[in-house]
Amino acid sequence: MTAQLIDGNQLSKQLRTEVTARAQALKVKGVTPGLAVVLVGDNPASQVYVRNKVKACEDSGLHSVLEKYEATLTEADLLARVEALNNDPSIHGILVQLPLPAHIDAQKVIEAISPAKDVDGFHIASAGALMTGMPGFWPCTPYGCMKMLDSIAYDLRGKHAVVIGRSNIVGKPMALMLLQKNATVTICHSATPDLKAMTLQADVIVAAVGKRNVLTADMVKPGAVVLDVGMNRNAEGKLCGDVDFEGVKQVASHITPVPGGVGPMTITMLLVNTLEAAERASK
């Protein structure tokens, strides 16, 4: 079997066209959806991420503001900026790019963002909403994975999903989203004794670890759907995921590539969440 590719670039394009149309409809009502991106320090990867996020907003007709601060910015000053953005009616979504410098308590900053503008979905109120099935913002990466499953009309009811990784931003919310769609969910992590025994039972596998080749062909049940969240560099410095793509694509029914898979979907879902925040605020 050669797996069918779930193309994150293609799906993103489609979803972003919908975002542009919805943003246009809001503009007619006098509301331009606005995202504020706050960057503290000069982490090179973060600089690329925020640039991409701001550009994606512009391309989709969303207003965006990029606030850049020196790494020496105090926690109090950052909290004051977040508060100002909470009170700014032209801003519907606030994203504070992580990681923050060590002297700033990132959790405290996230908790300072109004849950109504928490488009990253990292606030404890957003996590609680996801856990209880209440309306709120879903973290963009697992949300993008759910859209990828939707794109192949995959019915999770009665299926066994195995999530590898239990971070607050990917693994745990991913598991909750799959559960909400009636999958039976297993979460694996670094203390899981026999990962292969778990993954071999899975109809859907989401790998969110950050290590190359965590998932190889011998660990995958024929016909399983494999979503690769990982972002790593191989020996040649090329971007790659957690999954041995060449091997696993011979066994899986569907697979996401890296690059061009979950990555572009993450930014797309940030646009979707920002638009949603603006729509809610304008009701």
Measured in whole angstroms, the distance separating CA 168 from the mean position of its chain's CA atoms is: 11
> Residue 188 and residue 207: Cα distance in Å, rounded?
10
Q: Which amino acid is at 246?
A: E
C-beta of residue 202 within 8 angstroms of C-beta of residue 160: yes
For 245, the 3-state DSSP assignment is helix
CB atoms under 10 Å from CB of 183, counted, come to 24
If one asks whether residue 191 binds ligand NAP (CB under 6 A), the answer comes out as yes
Is 47 among the residues known to form the active site? no
Query: In the window 98-157, what residues touch ligand NAP (CB under 6 A)?
Result: 141
Kindly tell me which residue out of 112, 178, 219, 262 binds ligand NAP, with binding defined by CB under 6 A. 262
Annotated catalytic residue, options 117, 118, 120, 228: 120
Report residue 53: phi and psi, to 5°: -70, -45
| Amino acid at residue number 19 | V
Residue 29 a catalytic site member: no
User: What is the rounded distance in angstroms from the CA atom of residue 14 to the CA atom of residue 33?
Assistant: 19
Least separation in angstroms between residue 121's CB and ligand NAP is 12
Among positions 41, 101, 115, 210, the unique one binding ligand NAP when judged by CB under 6 A: 210
167 binds ligand NAP (CB under 6 A): yes
Contact 26, 56 (CB under 8 A): no
Q: Is 186 in the site for ligand NAP (CB under 6 A)?
A: no
Give residue for tokens 């909750």: 176
263 binds ligand NAP (CB under 6 A): yes
Please select the residue that binds ligand NAP; options are 12, 97, 266, 273, rule is CB under 6 A.
Answer: 266
Distance of closest approach, residue 122 Cβ to ligand NAP, in angstroms: 11
**Single residue of 164, 175, 215, 225 touching ligand NAP by CB under 6 A:** 164
Q: Which stretch binds ligand NAP (CB under 6 A): 67-75, 154-162, 168-176, 246-254?
A: 168-176
Residue pair 36/85 in contact by the 8 Å Cβ criterion: yes
- CA–CA gap between residue 116 and residue 137 (Å, rounded): 8
Q: Residue 238, interface with ligand NAP (CB under 6 A)?
A: no
User: Which residues make up the interface to ligand NAP (CB under 6 A)?
Assistant: 141, 164-167, 169-171, 188-192, 195, 208-211, 214, 229-232, 262-263, 266
- Residues carrying an active site annotation: 53, 97, 120
